[in-house]
Chain A
Amino acid sequence: MLNSMLGQYRRTIILVVVFLLIAILEVLEVRTTIYGNSLPFFEWMKNSSWLGIIGTTYGSVYATIEAVHLLSMAVIGGTVLATDLRLLGVVLTDIPSETLTRGTHKVFRNALICAIATGIFCAAGVADKVYYMPVFWVKMLALVAGGCFVFLVKQPLLNSMPHSEINPWTIRLLATTSILVWFTVAAAGRWIGFS
């Protein structure tokens, strides 16, 4: 009985455990300890790693890779808006949402990999600066939350059955959350540039 219930609601149980774990770690101030201990790593990234050295020595390389980072972010924004506004019934309503979400998800995944790879290089060049910016950590938190949300929750649900069989309010909630989380990632990224 218990085993069948655990199997039936596996993802929900994992979600509850993850959020409980986050709450417990927050109460025990684990995040604050990790933050304090990670400064040497950020200083090493800027001053000793080859990523940081190339980023700080060659401005043209940094600018080129940052341009690729911004283009990747633009592709992420485009796929997120196309998918989620379609799920909300605002745009591209003549295309079945199942077809659109499957197609855009592949592009989204590749753009996200590219954005993360180039983002690590961009952060390495200014690692000792971004370490002290709260907005950098907000961006990282939103990025992790958005990635987990899309790959572990949203896309598996959208791929599991025809969208007409999913509660429309669930689809609207998923689409709105997705837009908000990727908006936060983009806005925090630009905020880093102006801090």
Chain B
Amino acid sequence: MSNEKKWGDLEIAAVGSAVIIMGSLLFYWVLEIESMLELLELAYGSAKLFNNPLVY
């Protein structure tokens, strides 16, 4: 017989919603950081990280 505790309804709902919310927020903030870096590229024009038309 397994000694591992069976996960209850509340625990599954908590982990599921936490993973979905945290994943969405991390995705949002990573996209914001990427767009900020793109703006910095355009502003200072010396690095080509994502999509800088000033650097070939």
Contact = CB atoms under 8 A, between A and B. Distances in A.
B12 A12 contact: yes
Interface in B1-43: 5, 7, 9-22, 24-26, 28-29
A174 interface: yes
A170 B7 CA distance: 11
Contacts, number: 67
A176 B18 CA distance: 9
What secondary structure prevails in chain B residues at the interface with A? helix
Nearest to B15: A170
A10 B9 contact: yes
Contact of B9 (A9, A142, A184): A9
B13 A12 contact: yes
A156 B10 contact: yes
B13 A173 contact: no
Interface residues of B, number: 21
Contacts of B14: 153-154, 157, 170, 173-174
A14 B16 CA distance: 12
A167 B15 CA distance: 11
Nearest to B19: A173
A149 B13 CA distance: 10
Interface of A: 8-12, 14-16, 19, 138, 142, 145, 148-149, 153-154, 156-157, 160, 165-167, 170, 173-174, 176-177, 180-181, 184
21 contacts: A9-B12, A11-B9, A15-B13, A15-B16, A15-B17, A145-B21, A148-B17, A149-B21, A156-B10, A157-B11, A165-B5, A167-B5, A167-B7, A170-B11, A173-B14, A174-B18, A180-B21, A180-B25, A181-B22, A181-B25, A184-B29
Interface of B: 5, 7, 9-22, 24-26, 28-29
